Chains A and B, each alone.
Chain A
Amino acid sequence: MADQAAVTLLCLFLPFLAAVLAPAVIRAFGHAGSWLLALAPLLSFLHFLTFLPEVADGGVVTGGFAWVPSLNLSFSWFLDGLSLTFALLITGIGTLIVLYSGGYMKGHPQLGRFLCFILLFMGAMLGLVVSDSFLMLFVYWELTSITSFLLIGFDHEREAARRSALQALVVTGLGGLSLLAGLIFLWNMTGVTQLSLLVHVGDGLRESPFYLAALILLLGGAFTKSAQFPFHFWLPNAMEAPTPVSAYLHSATMVKAGVYLLMRLNPVMGATPAWEILLPLFGGVTLIAGAFLAIRQTDLKLMLAYTTMASLGLLVMLTGFGTPHAIEAAVLYLVAHSLFKGALFMVAGLVDHEAGTREVTKLGGLRSVMPITFVAALLAALSMGGLPLFLGFLAKEEIYYALAHGDLRAMLFTLVAIVGNGLMLVVGFTVALKPFLGPHVETPKHAHEGPLLMWLGPAVLAGLGLLGGIFSGIAHRFVSTPMASAVAGELRPVDITTIPHLGMPLLLSVVTVAFGVAVYLQIDRARAMMVRLLAAIGNGPDRGFDHVISGLVRLSVAVTRMVQPGRLEIYVTATFIFLALTLLVPPFVYGELPELPAWPTDVLFHEWAIILLAVIGLFAVLRASDRLTAIVSLGIQGFAVAVIFLLFGAADLSFTQFMVETLSVVILALVMTRLRLSPRDHRPLGQMLFDATIAISCGLGFTLMLMKSTQGPFNAHLTEFFNAYSKVIAHGANVVNVIIVDFRGTDTLGEIGVVMITGLAVLALIRVRPRNPLPQTRVEAPADGDRP
């Protein structure tokens, strides 16, 4: 068992490993290196395949390793029907995508980087769906957002790609934060940090007063990731990415992460009024909006992108609908959609690659030159349209079976589903049939069948859609039933077959197909109508995103200019005002003022004299109006300090201070003789009073603080330590020197480092002259006292 856990762990990290190697492999083997790189997802796929029998029998595969034991965090995974199906889709489609990318981007100088990103994403997505702990789920969730950002912005020299990448990152990143908040809520409400343990919490979660808050936060994460209206706008823009990315991330896997989260939470959070209102509502609106928006597009990829959005809406709607059959329908549709949409995207890329355009109006008659592609496209479109024999048909039958139950709510959603499905069928047929049928249209490139690397993917996925429909028993046994059971939280055997039964669902299917075919025949008029309608509506959330971003930039500029106006005076003034407040407010507020001292009687005459000298020196500096006075008075206060040190038993300090003051006066004199500057105070009276108030407040604050601290008892602990050991252990009689070079030697080492660095800095300042002297921008000085 431990061996199996180790292999599973390896499989989870295999994509990351391959990602690291990808650039080197591509450099060595060219685009054929993708065969080698595809081994990584393939091996993972085969490993996960071995879990199928166990999971099909209702088992759960778990494993993990301690990560941060002190925080009760573990790196643990949890594979039930839901996770396993996702894992198989990710690794399986991933294998085909890696191969497809090798063909699609053959000869591209950045193919290695591209495959690296794709494999990174695969690792992240795989981690997301098998994660058991909340934290792991969140980390992987954000990793998928980041890799999606990298892939959308892959062609980073185009502004549109950069914008779309940023948009996707902002929207899904904000959603990620919302998810994190929601998970923290869950953790606080239940005390559980693992998804697998949530089930045991039971109804406690639903009855918690924080249920709604947690639900809304979690939905914020799921809806942004799965492009639900009104957060859908990033998904069509994400089509700026190369087609393999669109096929993999933005249809088959990543955008389903939100749906995965909802399905995962359904057993513990579902079946409440809020759940059954919010999910179908947002899902339904997304379905209709996506389907209608898809009609107006003429770009193959954009059409598919909007149908993806619509499909995601349908999945959310079904997940939240609340009946067992709806869950079964969601599960079937999810799998079917991943297969046919992945295939159709790859077909669109293939057509683009071979014919040189994705504009559906400029394509036609490719049937004869690209037969394999045509067959794959046709199979995928039939599955998408929900025609018998295909997996899509099972899904659609199940959808109508779930929805058509008579009451008003069900009828409304049935209508939504019919319109949505019908329009999606139209788009599917447009994508799959229009480029291939009809008279041959001259395309920018001379089209012919693509290479094996490229048609393999769509052919396999489209074929699986057909096989899944025909051998529905096997599909149900190993995939649908375990997955539906995991989502429902109880055993849900799925038994729908592809043989049509007479009844309500079949009737609704026929209505859908008829509606779809009717619109398909009138596609140009429908498109024109949609264009007019959208022009009438005007601004969408996509434009709004631009406004928000530019608003943010302007806001931060305004804030920066307010707190950093670029005038040193203001910074210094603000600093000292806060210093004064810090020193003065607490003593007054907490009554920590020192006692009023008596007139000092223990001060000797010469001490009075030297203190007076220091004060005179200070005032002379303040009042100095020429350079010489300033320098000399500065020297006076400095030497006075040196004498004070000497009088109070600090001989070392006194000598040092004398030397420093002498040197200061010398170098100050050296510089000042060359600076024709007057140290006179230029401030007007009002400004002087203002500054003096700040300065005196600070001074008063220091005085009070020092009085208070010297009035208290003296803690001589450290002094006694140094006193006791200075001679005995450190063999030095001068305690000050012993502290500096021995007890606190490391400190001193740092300090002489600082002295050395200032020496170097001075040297650099003196030596380095700009090669081009900076322009002398003489800014007109504002009038003195002119404060903002």
Chain B
Amino acid sequence: METLFSVLIGIFFASAIYLMLSKHTVRILLGFAILGNAVNLLLFTAGRLTREVPPIIPLAADVLPEGAANPLPQALILTAIVISFSFFAFLLVLTYRGYQELGTDNTDEMRLAEPKDEPLPPLGY
């Protein structure tokens, strides 16, 4: 089971990274969304997989029933999902505003911060 997931996660990472290697901000954005899922699945699998039973303690008991899922990675992932979503939204807006201001989605043409032919800094004292 974990082996199959390892392969699946490898595919997730490969897809995400392939998209992020593009010059176009839209594809980078898509890659970023997938990368978040890849990382979450990685954490999830590393905490070992169990079927169906959620980590909820029954009314009569004080501890989890046998075969319940590992709660720790779930707690880590839950916040990670929300944070990567808000970060995704930020990048989305950044892409959008960048396109509005610079008229391009090609990162090669976004040279405002590091212009191509920047002159030497002043050599005086």
Chains A and B touch each other in the complex, with CB atoms below 8 Å apart = yes
| Interfacial residues, chain A to chain B (CB-CB below 8 A) | 159, 162-163, 166, 549-550, 553-554, 557, 564-569, 572-573, 576, 597, 600, 602-603, 611, 614-615, 618-619, 621-622, 630, 634, 637-638, 641, 644-645, 647-653, 656-657, 660, 663-664, 667-668, 671-672, 674-675, 677, 679, 681-683, 691-692, 694-696, 698-700, 702-704, 706-707, 709-711, 714, 716, 718-719, 722-724, 726-728, 733-736, 739-740, 744, 747-748, 751, 754-755, 758-759, 761-762, 765-766, 770, 773-774, 776-779, 781-782
- Extra inter-chain contacts (15) besides given A641-B37, A648-B52, CB under 8 Å: A163-B125, A553-B120, A597-B3, A641-B40, A647-B52, A648-B51, A650-B44, A656-B82, A660-B82, A660-B85, A671-B96, A692-B18, A698-B14, A703-B7, A734-B56
Interface readout for B66-83 with A: 1 if CB under 8 Å, 0 if not?
001111101101110111
Contacts of B94 in A (CB 8 A): 765
Identify the closest chain A residue to B69 (Cβ).
A649
Q: How far is the CB of A261 from chain B (nearest CB, A)?
A: 29
Q: Give the residue of B3, B58, B95, B123 whose beta carbon is less than 8 angstroms from that of A600.
A: B3
Say yes or no: B63 contacts A723, CB within 8 Å.
yes
Say yes or no: B41 contacts A566, CB within 8 Å.
no
Contacts of A664 in B (CB 8 A): 33, 85, 88
Measured CA separation A734–B112 after assembly (Å):
50
| Known contacts A649-B53, A650-B74, A694-B17: A679-B24 contact under CB 8 Å | yes
| Interfacial residues, chain B to chain A (CB-CB below 8 A) | 1-24, 26-28, 30, 33-34, 37-38, 40-42, 44-59, 61-64, 68-72, 74-75, 77-79, 81-83, 85-90, 92-97, 99, 101-116, 120-121, 123-125
Q: How far is the CB of A676 from chain B (nearest CB, A)?
A: 9
Say yes or no: A699 contacts B108, CB within 8 Å.
no
Identify the closest chain B residue to A646 (Cβ).
B52
Measured CA separation A776–B53 after assembly (Å):
57
Say yes or no: B83 contacts A718, CB within 8 Å.
no
Measured CA separation A723–B50 after assembly (Å):
16
Say yes or no: A649 contacts B52, CB within 8 Å.
yes
| Known contacts A554-B120, A569-B108: A707-B89 contact under CB 8 Å | no
Question: Chain A contact residues: over half helix, strand or loop, or mixed?
Answer: helix
Say yes or no: B13 contacts A698, CB within 8 Å.
yes
Say yes or no: A702 contacts B21, CB within 8 Å.
no
Measured CA separation A644–B46 after assembly (Å):
15
Q: Give the residue of B85, B89, B97, B108 whose beta carbon is less than 8 angstroms from that of A781.
A: B108
| Known contacts A566-B115, A664-B88, A761-B90: A611-B8 contact under CB 8 Å | yes
Say yes or no: A611 contacts B40, CB within 8 Å.
no
Contacts of B59 in A (CB 8 A): 733
| Known contacts A648-B49, A650-B74, A651-B54: A740-B69 contact under CB 8 Å | no
Identify the closest chain A residue to B40 (Cβ).
A641
Contacts of B78 in A (CB 8 A): 652-653, 656, 736, 740
Say yes or no: B86 contacts A759, CB within 8 Å.
yes
Contacts of A569 in B (CB 8 A): 21-23, 107-108
List 9 A-B pairs, minimum CB-CB distance, nearest first.
A699-B14, A649-B69, A566-B114, A703-B10, A695-B18, A735-B71, A739-B75, A568-B107, A163-B125
19 A-B contacts (beta carbon < 8 Å): A567-B107, A569-B22, A597-B3, A637-B37, A649-B52, A653-B74, A675-B105, A691-B21, A692-B18, A695-B18, A699-B17, A710-B46, A722-B72, A726-B71, A735-B56, A736-B75, A754-B86, A759-B86, A777-B112
Say yes or no: A603 contacts B123, CB within 8 Å.
no
Identify the closest chain A residue to B1 (Cβ).
A602
Identify the closest chain A residue to B38 (Cβ).
A702
Say yes or no: B111 contacts A779, CB within 8 Å.
yes
Q: Tell me which of A565, A573, A645 has the highest count of chain B C-beta atoms within 10 A of its own C-beta.
A: A645
| Known contacts A603-B1, A707-B2: A656-B81 contact under CB 8 Å | yes
Q: Give the residue of A619, A706, A735, A782 whose beta carbon is less than 8 angstroms from that of B42.
A: A706
Say yes or no: B124 contacts A159, CB within 8 Å.
yes
Q: Give the residue of A166, A710, A754, A770 whose beta carbon is less than 8 angstroms from that of B83.
A: A754
| Known contacts A597-B3, A739-B71, A755-B82: A645-B63 contact under CB 8 Å | no
| Known contacts A648-B44, A706-B45, A707-B2: A774-B72 contact under CB 8 Å | no
Contacts of B45 in A (CB 8 A): 706, 710
Measured CA separation A567–B106 after assembly (Å):
10
Identify the closest chain B residue to A774 (Cβ).
B101
Contacts of B47 in A (CB 8 A): 719
Measured CA separation A649–B26 after assembly (Å):
34
Contacts of A653 in B (CB 8 A): 40, 44, 74, 77-78, 81
Q: Give the residue of A553, A682, A695, A726 whose beta carbon is less than 8 angstroms from that of B121.
A: A553
Say yes or no: A568 contacts B110, CB within 8 Å.
yes
| Known contacts A615-B8, A652-B78, A754-B83: A734-B14 contact under CB 8 Å | no
Contacts of A677 in B (CB 8 A): 24, 26, 99, 105
Say yes or no: B81 contacts A657, CB within 8 Å.
yes
Q: How far is the CB of A746 from chain B (nearest CB, A)?
A: 12
Q: How far is the CB of B123 from chain A (nearest CB, A)?
A: 5
| Known contacts A573-B21, A651-B54: A702-B13 contact under CB 8 Å | yes
Measured CA separation A747–B18 after assembly (Å):
32
Q: Give the residue of A163, A572, A683 whose beta carbon is less than 8 angstroms from that of B20.
A: A572
Say yes or no: A615 contacts B95, CB within 8 Å.
no
Q: How far is the CB of B13 from chain A (nearest CB, A)?
A: 4
Measured CA separation A566–B116 after assembly (Å):
7
Measured CA separation A557–B95 after assembly (Å):
30
Say yes or no: A703 contacts B6, CB within 8 Å.
yes
Q: How far is the CB of A306 from chain B (nearest CB, A)?
A: 23
Say yes or no: A723 contacts B41, CB within 8 Å.
no
Q: Tell me which of A634, A706, A776 has the highest count of chain B C-beta atoms within 10 A of its own C-beta.
A: A706
Say yes or no: B99 contacts A675, CB within 8 Å.
yes
Measured CA separation A484–B13 after assembly (Å):
75
Q: How far is the CB of A161 from chain B (nearest CB, A)?
A: 9
| Known contacts A641-B37, A660-B81, A736-B55: A649-B50 contact under CB 8 Å | yes
Contacts of B125 in A (CB 8 A): 159, 162-163, 166
Measured CA separation A770–B51 after assembly (Å):
53
Say yes or no: A603 contacts B4, CB within 8 Å.
yes
Say yes or no: A671 contacts B21, CB within 8 Å.
no
Contacts of B58 in A (CB 8 A): 733
Contacts of A739 in B (CB 8 A): 71-72, 75
Measured CA separation A590–B21 after assembly (Å):
29
Q: How far is the CB of B113 from chain A (nearest CB, A)?
A: 8
| Known contacts A637-B37, A706-B42, A735-B71: A765-B93 contact under CB 8 Å | yes
Contacts of A733 in B (CB 8 A): 56-59
Q: Give the residue of A618, A651, A696, A702 whose beta carbon is less than 8 angstroms from that of B34.
A: A618
Contacts of A572 in B (CB 8 A): 20-21, 28
Contacts of B5 in A (CB 8 A): 706
Say yes or no: B79 contacts A748, CB within 8 Å.
yes
Q: How far is the CB of B70 from chain A (nearest CB, A)?
A: 5
Say yes or no: A722 contacts B96, CB within 8 Å.
no
Say yes or no: B64 contacts A735, CB within 8 Å.
yes
Measured CA separation A565–B94 after assembly (Å):
22
Q: Tell me which of B16, B22, B87 has the highest count of chain A C-beta atoms within 10 A of its own C-beta.
A: B22
Measured CA separation A253–B51 after assembly (Å):
81
Measured CA separation A284–B97 after assembly (Å):
69
Measured CA separation A779–B115 after assembly (Å):
10
Say yes or no: A706 contacts B6, CB within 8 Å.
yes
Say yes or no: A706 contacts B46, CB within 8 Å.
yes
Q: Give the residue of B46, B72, B102 whose beta carbon is less than 8 angstroms from that of A718.
A: B72
Say yes or no: B97 contacts A765, CB within 8 Å.
yes
| Known contacts A727-B57, A734-B56: A695-B4 contact under CB 8 Å | no
Say yes or no: B18 contacts A649, CB within 8 Å.
no
Identify the closest chain B residue to A750 (Cβ).
B79
Contacts of B22 in A (CB 8 A): 569, 681-683, 691
Measured CA separation A691–B70 after assembly (Å):
36
Say yes or no: B123 contacts A668, CB within 8 Å.
no
Measured CA separation A651–B104 after assembly (Å):
41
Contacts of B9 in A (CB 8 A): 702-703, 706
Identify the closest chain B residue to A550 (Cβ).
B123
